[in-house]
Structure 1
Amino acid sequence: MPDAPSTLLRHLWIPLADGTRLAARVWLPAAGSGPAPALLEYIPYRKNDATAARDNSLHARFAEAGYAAVRVDLRGSGDSDGLMLDEYAQQELADGVEVIDWLARQPWCDGNVGMIGKSWGGFNGLQIAALRPAALKAVVTVCSTDDRYADDVHYTGGSLIASEMLPWASTMLAYNARPADPAVVGDGWREQWLRRMADTPVYVEEWLRHQARDAYWKHGSVCEDFGAIQAPVLAVGGWYDPYCGAVLRLLEGLDVPVRGLVGPWAHTYPHQAEPGPAIDFHAEVVRWFDQFLRGRDSGALDDPALRVWMPEWAAPGGDREVRPGRWVAEQNWPSPRIERRAYALGGESAGTAAASDPLRERAVHLDSTRTIGTAGGSWLQFGDAAGQFGPQGGDDGLSHTFTTAPLDEDAEILGVPTVTLRVSADRPDAQLAVRLNDVAPDGSSRLVTRGLLNLTHRDGHEEPQALEPGRAYDVTVPLVATAHSFTPGHRIRVAVSASYWPLAW
């Protein structure tokens, strides 16, 4: 990557058609290099303080590589004018289209624009691409999703992820309650601040009003029409991040050049990876944008469809800094190399069961009031020690478990595991939590992945149906996408419970 000095414009106003101004920070390539493609990151996290150090770690490198890198605060956030009424509101997306058009017309831009973002910026990069602004030529989306209901921080499997939804709403309320910088916005900063605090809604109220997958969640879910996206997409995720399944779905659903990259990471940019190993993410991004914004043959399209980190066993908590494993690749996704294997499962229950009956015929009673899930860490992990899961043995002992005999050969998995069970309940609503664990020869149980299902959503998330108490239902619980290498001598365990506290309410 070229290493040339860049110019930082600490503040720039982007005017919108309705008179609103959005605040931007711009890193320009070396003087005299001429107009360049622009790369936009468009998020609500306050360019002047909250993400300033992280922004510089990303965008300064892009400017050194010859791009004009632009970091914009959304309407109603940071130093920008207005109010932010919700995540991914239609106004936010329409503003984004205007921003792209404005960037393309600047004298330092050659008319080509790319979008890059993690989480919120990864979401709206896909959503704005679906609106097809003419200048948007490629997208890099990191730790995001194509389906706002399926695997964001609000619901999963129809279950309320209260451990994420409530803190996230509180976080955004706190962000929106901070004043803009008086040195940027001028004497009206106090009036703007008070109005923002008074008129910005508490987002969780709206999220709780929409507990099924209705039009509210379909808005901004690009899986509703993958064909709307015509810009090439590099989709990036991490196995410790619950959004990682979107990478696989984008590979399957998009009809444009698309590549997937999934590392061992949590909800972080891969150059700041926790856990490691990190990668030279800047080079990956520049290679993608060179291909589609500069028209260079950078080799980006020669990559396999999917590159992933294949994790190996580590004792729970033993991989906080580096997760052992290796890089593997699939030339196509879905992969024709994935095969089915059958393993015999033995059952162990913390509930009651008729031991004289074959396992398939037993009635195992799961208690929905058990405190199971305290070793689960955070649903949305950022790599911090407090958010990581712990040893699963205690939760396993309170659940019903199905466990294989020790394996006599390697078993590597890649994709979305699903678990099908026959269940009945004594009430009209209930939920299941299912965990897939790797059990070492010494009995240590490590979480590989997990999933939830609100049983009133057993036939879909749009029209929940109450359970008929006592009636048996065959249900399938999808787990979060994963990759893992089970080694000889280890056992594969499926653990099932009727509660998962405090993650799921």
Structure 2
Amino acid sequence: MSNRPFSVIENQWITLADGTRLAARIWLPDDAELNPVPAVFEFLPYRKRDGTAPRDESTYPVFAAAGIAGVRVDIRGSGESEGVIDGEYTPLELANACELIAWIAARPWCNGSVGMMGISWGGFNCLQVAAMKPPALKAVISIASTVDRYNDDIHYKNGCHLSAQLSWAATMLAYQSRSPDPALVGDKWRDMWMTRLRDEPFFLEEWLQHQRRDEFWQHGSVCEAFDNIEIPALVIAGWADGYRNTPIKAIEGMGSKAKALIGPWVHKYPHFAFPKPRADFHGEAIAWWNRWLRDEQTGVEHWPQMRAYILDAPRPAVRRDADPGFWVSKDSWSKPEQQLLHIDADGRLAEGPALANAVRPAYLRSPLDTGIMAGEYFTLKPDAEMAGDQRIDDAGSLVFETPVLEEDRDYLGEPVLTFRVSTKGAFANLAARLVDIHPDGTATRVSFGVLNLAHRNSYAKPEAMPQGEFVEVRMVLDACGYRFRRGHRIRLSLSTAYWPLILPPPSDPGVTFDQGSLTVGLPLLGSHRRISVKEPENPDPLPKYISRSPSATQRGVYRDLTRNRVEYRILEDTGLNEHPATGLATRECRRETWSIAPDDPLSVSGNCHWTTEARRTDWSVRTECRASLRATETDWLLSARVTAFEDDRQVFEKSWEKKIARDFM
């Protein structure tokens, strides 16, 4: 890497064709107008001034020093950008991205080649924009993203309603209700803020109107036509995150145009993610950009198609700073060979032929609070957000185990279950977990999958279960890279609830499994090479801000035995942190509670409360955002409220109340 001098443009206005001005922060090599450079573009609603500033400041200066400009733009209605956001990955957002790419490529300091990258929202939209083929876009790096917005995002998963959908709607309500920084936009900041508060949507209202995989979710799902992506894509994910499936799906769909890297990480960039080991993201990204944006022969096209970290029997812990394991590579990826396990005559998981055709029924109706050790859908910290010891959830599950393993077994890919199941009701959810049982009984979740049985044949056209009849079901679990050690056991855990990760259907009749039909397909690691993946030289790359008040994290379960009710409570408070260069101090506090009676699916409720504040010596603003979701047998009941304060004086309030019919869930 070179060490070229560079400058930072704190706020660059970019005027779109419709007259809206978007705000960009640009890291620019000093001699770029004399010697034009490639540019990397990131397009997010997460506020360049404060929200993503730490991670931006850990990466874009490194790019600029290597002769690559960084252009970080806030989506309309976010940060300092004008207008109001209109949803996730909308046609307007993607069209704006293409317009911005053309603007960047036309700058005198740009060599005409642009890359696009991002994590989560930015990882999604860079793949979606690549499918639109803007001429100047030459390559992308997509981290913790999805190619299927319905089945692999934060809304629905295989027809099941993720509780994270409410959490995320509340998060976006809080983010979009925040004001721009007067230091950048001047006296118009209050008018811009009031426009956002008045016109911002409550995203959950739209999401709940699309409970099946219709055109709304097909839009932006690049798996609908992988061939539309004609440029190289480096696709990265972590096993500890909900977005772990995308690298495998990308290389299977895009072929040699895509490269996959999967580490042990939560939902963070690999150079500062936990659990360790980390990866030298800066070095990898610069090699990627230099090859595809300035045609240097860095050899990235010869990288293995798949590089993955194989977890070596980690244990659940209060905090997992590092996970044991080893890196492997596969030069060319193909769907792995499956090792097939069945239920033997003693009720154990074993290799060999399935039992005879006679039905061996096993009835299951899990307590509706089964799932409290599932962790978050997408994890930001390696603590209780990650899945914990599975013995608690396994108590409400139907479990099958192998005998003690006589040798290590290594797997990489998606486990697949097939079985026959019946239910006396029209609806039922299933959750399946692949679990590593350590010699002392500790249970580590390796992979999981969920399925709304009404969606067993089609996510676009669900149908009620035929009551009392056995039907064939196939479940694909989330991808994993894992070593089950000699002396351990492999457990399959099945439950009809996985709360609060997924919300229950309107009735809870339980299900009956035909044990004799159950097949577990485990993806064998197969031919591979052991490799090393370089770790970052800087072990602490994030900048340090001034702490004005401490952070706090709490996550717990409260069980009221007299009322027969369980509550799952979350507190995440960033504390008040001041940027030393701008003097802007910000704080975010999330309080969330999920509640359910273990025997009543209609008792489920979720409540989210976000406080966001920003202040300087002579200025302060705060928003309080609340959102809730409840259920009847036929409807989802949602509500939200935003209240805004300037200098502790209320200046705005808006509420939403909506009833939306349940659609096969």
Same fold at TM > 0.5? yes
**Do 2:366 and 2:396's aligned partners in 1 also have CA atoms closer than 8 Å?**
no
Q: Give 1:312's aligned residue.
A: 312
Q: Give 2:94's aligned residue.
A: 93
Residues 97-156 of structure 1: CA deviation (Å, up to 9, x unaligned): 000000001011111000010000000000111111000000000000111001100011
The more displaced of 254-263 and 143-152 is 254-263
* Change in CA separation of 1:175 and 1:359 when aligned onto 2, cut-off 3 Å: farther
**Do 1:11 and 1:24's aligned partners in 2 also have CA atoms closer than 8 Å?**
yes
Aligned-partner Cα distance in 1 for 2:451–2:338:
26
Question: Is 2:49 the partner of 1:48?
Answer: yes
Letter in 2 for 1:111: G
Aligned-partner Cα distance in 1 for 2:322–2:489:
23
Map 1:50-449 onto structure 2 (within 5 A).
50-162=51-163, 164-255=164-255, 257-317=257-317, 320-334=320-334, 338=337, 340-342=339-341, 347=347, 361-449=359-447
Find the residue that maps to 1:426 and give its secondary structure: coil
Residues 222-263 of structure 1: CA deviation (Å, up to 9, x unaligned): 111111111111111111112221111110111552111000
**Do 2:256 and 2:305's aligned partners in 1 also have CA atoms closer than 8 Å?**
no
Q: Give 2:453's aligned residue.
A: 455
Letter in 2 for 1:27: W
Aligned-partner Cα distance in 1 for 2:448–2:136:
40
**Do 2:367 and 2:396's aligned partners in 1 also have CA atoms closer than 8 Å?**
no
Residues 341-375 of structure 1: CA deviation (Å, up to 9, x unaligned): 54666648xxxxxxxx9997332221154321011
**Do 1:456 and 1:465's aligned partners in 2 also have CA atoms closer than 8 Å?**
yes
Aligned-partner Cα distance in 2 for 1:131–1:219:
12
Give, in angstroms, the shift of residue 455 of structure 1: 0.2
**Do 2:101 and 2:136's aligned partners in 1 also have CA atoms closer than 8 Å?**
yes
Letter in 2 for 1:472: F
Aligned-partner Cα distance in 1 for 2:338–2:132:
38
Find the residue that maps to 2:482 and give its secondary structure: strand
Give, in angstroms, the shift of residue 299 of structure 1: 1.2
Q: Which runs of 5+ in 1 are unaligned?
A: 349-356
**Do 2:319 and 2:384's aligned partners in 1 also have CA atoms closer than 8 Å?**
no
Letter in 2 for 1:236: I
Residues 195-238 of structure 1: CA deviation (Å, up to 9, x unaligned): 11111110011111111000000000011111111111111111
Q: Give 2:551's aligned residue.
A: none
Aligned-partner Cα distance in 2 for 1:318–1:339:
33
Letter in 1 for 2:95: A
| Structure ranking higher in strand proportion | 2
Find the residue that maps to 1:386 and give its secondary structure: coil
**Do 1:438 and 1:446's aligned partners in 2 also have CA atoms closer than 8 Å?**
yes
Q: Give 1:352's aligned residue.
A: none
Residues 251-300 of structure 1: CA deviation (Å, up to 9, x unaligned): 01115521110001011100111111111101111111111111111010
Aligned-partner Cα distance in 2 for 1:89–1:184:
27
Aligned-partner Cα distance in 2 for 1:318–1:298:
41
Letter in 2 for 1:283: G
**Do 1:344 and 1:404's aligned partners in 2 also have CA atoms closer than 8 Å?**
no
Aligned-partner Cα distance in 2 for 1:478–1:255:
21
Q: Give 1:353's aligned residue.
A: none
Letter in 1 for 2:62: R
Relative to the length of structure 2, the TM-score reads: 0.72
Q: Give 2:486's aligned residue.
A: 488
* Change in CA separation of 1:83 and 1:90 when aligned onto 2, cut-off 3 Å: same
The more displaced of 392-401 and 250-259 is 250-259
Find the residue that maps to 1:9 and give its secondary structure: strand
* Change in CA separation of 1:149 and 1:270 when aligned onto 2, cut-off 3 Å: same
Aligned-partner Cα distance in 1 for 2:371–2:21:
46
Letter in 1 for 2:378: L
* Change in CA separation of 1:286 and 1:440 when aligned onto 2, cut-off 3 Å: same
Aligned-partner Cα distance in 1 for 2:151–2:338:
26
* Change in CA separation of 1:313 and 1:342 when aligned onto 2, cut-off 3 Å: same
* Change in CA separation of 1:360 and 1:396 when aligned onto 2, cut-off 3 Å: farther
Find the residue that maps to 1:187 and give its secondary structure: helix
Aligned-partner Cα distance in 1 for 2:84–2:282:
33
Residues 448-482 of structure 1: CA deviation (Å, up to 9, x unaligned): 01010000000020100001211111111111111
Q: Give 1:35's aligned residue.
A: 36
Relative to the length of structure 1, the TM-score reads: 0.95
Q: Which runs of 5+ in 2 are unaligned?
A: 349-354, 504-665
The more displaced of 293-302 and 212-221 is 293-302
Q: Give 1:17's aligned residue.
A: 17
**Do 2:77 and 2:196's aligned partners in 1 also have CA atoms closer than 8 Å?**
yes
Letter in 1 for 2:311: P
Give, in angstroms, the shift of residue 157 of structure 1: 1.2
| Structure ranking higher in helix proportion | 1
Aligned-partner Cα distance in 2 for 1:235–1:229:
13
Find the residue that maps to 1:28 and give its secondary structure: strand
Aligned-partner Cα distance in 2 for 1:465–1:361:
24
The more displaced of 380-389 and 190-199 is 380-389
**Do 2:153 and 2:243's aligned partners in 1 also have CA atoms closer than 8 Å?**
yes
* Change in CA separation of 1:201 and 1:121 when aligned onto 2, cut-off 3 Å: same
Residues 172-216 of structure 1: CA deviation (Å, up to 9, x unaligned): 000011011112222221111111111111001111111100000
Aligned-partner Cα distance in 2 for 1:184–1:98:
23
Residues 32-74 of structure 1: CA deviation (Å, up to 9, x unaligned): 6621001001111000011111111011111111101110000
CA RMSD of aligned residues (A): 1.7
Give, in angstroms, the shift of residue 384 of structure 1: 3.9
Residues 297-351 of structure 1: CA deviation (Å, up to 9, x unaligned): 1010111110000001122117610011010011111156x45354666648xxx
Find the residue that maps to 2:298 and give its secondary structure: coil
Aligned-partner Cα distance in 2 for 1:63–1:54:
15
**Do 2:241 and 2:267's aligned partners in 1 also have CA atoms closer than 8 Å?**
yes
Find the residue that maps to 1:165 and give its secondary structure: helix
Find the residue that maps to 2:179 and give its secondary structure: coil
Find the residue that maps to 2:363 and give its secondary structure: coil
What's the % identity of the aligned pairs? 45
Q: Alignment length, in residue pairs?
A: 495
Give, in angstroms, the shift of residue 410 of structure 1: 1.4
* Change in CA separation of 1:401 and 1:358 when aligned onto 2, cut-off 3 Å: farther
The more displaced of 378-387 and 143-152 is 378-387
Aligned-partner Cα distance in 2 for 1:220–1:282:
28
Give, in angstroms, the shift of residue 414 of structure 1: 0.6
Q: Give 1:354's aligned residue.
A: none
* Change in CA separation of 1:359 and 1:435 when aligned onto 2, cut-off 3 Å: farther
Give, in angstroms, the shift of residue 4 of structure 1: 2.5
Letter in 2 for 1:458: R
